[in-house]
Structure 1
Amino acid sequence: MSEAVLVAKDLVVSYGSQVVLQDVSLTLQAGTLTALVGANGAGKSTLLQVLQGQLAARSGSVHCEDVPIEDCRERVVLMPQRSRIDWSFPITVREFVALGALRSPARACCEREAALQRVGLSALASRRLDALSGGQQQRALLARALVQPSTVLLLDEPCSAIDPPSRDQLLRLMRQLVSVGHTLLVSSHDWGEALDLYDRVIVLQGRVLADGSPAAVRRSLSGLVDPGNHCCG
């Protein structure tokens, strides 16, 4: 089995008196592609923020390579939902990607160009953000995440509201990243996509309902979800 790179234990998260996540535990193995599936309001985005250290849990712990996440937040990069970005900001794709760089200017320049090439945006690097399609915006977000020296990438709904060809291209990119050693946890509300395209599926609804291979999750949740509806609820 691969080495565990991110481990969360017994997470409880609340907003005021409302408990959003209850006793959530998970372990991500190095070089794996995992889907975090749940309906809107299931706590997916909240969990990703806790795993990255942006949001503190009421109780429980998160460690990346045995180090508390509070001491190594740079090792875990969270790619936000596309809808949370102001795409009208007057900068180019290259400038947008450079915003993710944490290293020296010379090193950051090389990593920025490598990230643009990896996601297939080198030819569009001088284009303004507001001229990008939805799929291109998602790839720009991924490039910005890749310029950071991370151990784990957390992607929040990257395949939402983009056309099927763009979704397929993005999924191929994610698979390529895994093949060279990256570890990805990708949130999605699309049950069918998760079962068809990911190595492992974690189903979340305030707590972990199922966690395992797509086949095992399908069996364990056969009475709770409707695969034909392609939605987990």
Structure 2
Amino acid sequence: MILTDTHTHLYSQAFDDDRQEVIQEALKSNIKRFFIPAIDSETTNAMYALEKAYPENIFLMMGLHPTSVQPKTYLKELQHVENQFKTRDFYAVGEIGIDLYWDKSTLGTQQEAFHRQIELAQVYELPIVIHCREAFDEVFEVLEQHKGDDLHGIFHCFTGNYEQAMQAISYNMHLGIGGVVTFKNGKIDQFLNQIDLKHIVLETDSPYLTPKPYRGKRNQSAYLTYIAEKLAEIYSQSLEQIAEITTANSKRIFGV
């Protein structure tokens, strides 16, 4: 049985004291692939160091996170993203999108950055990994302008309702399901079994969004098993079946 964590920030400072132990614990739990999203230029070197240390397990994305889209610096940051693509290969453009939870005043620049990075993904024929927080309508508005066979990817940390899930899927997006599915008030567990498993991938978003029974503590990739177990319960499938299907989905999306 092989599980895949399609979204984890293993380069985060939260792991500086025990990163090797965290990765080894995940590997022992049959989590063999870790897909690493970018945030901004300050995380690039840490990502590369992580890949160098675990070349068979670490798969990198490149992109500018919407909360790092600031009016004075975002053009320089986007140039950094584009420059990285000129020097090496990545498995996705991410994480990109729109976040209106922290700052609504940057919506215009977030939209511009989102458009440019989707276009970059289409040029390099790569999937996108979307960050969406309190911005489903705004994200869908951008996706509508790029829809087509060359648009595909993952709605990272999906927390919407059934209708929003189906709209995301209509744009060739898979749903990234993480710790929220284990929360009592997460709500996505109430309709998820209506979504075909072919549209689902697993993620932790560690060190954030820790699943039960460790909610409130630092998340880590080994806890992906709790998310997989919850999906096995929701779909009335075995853990092995959930692992097989979601890992196959991730391989197809990222071209692994």
Tell me if both proteins adopt one fold, taking TM over 0.5 as the criterion: no
- Which structure has more relative contact order (CA 8 Å, sep 6+)? It is 1
Which TM-score tier does this pair reach, normalised by the shorter chain?
0.3 to 0.5
User: TM-score scaled to structure 2, two decimals?
Assistant: 0.38
> Higher strand proportion, which one?
1
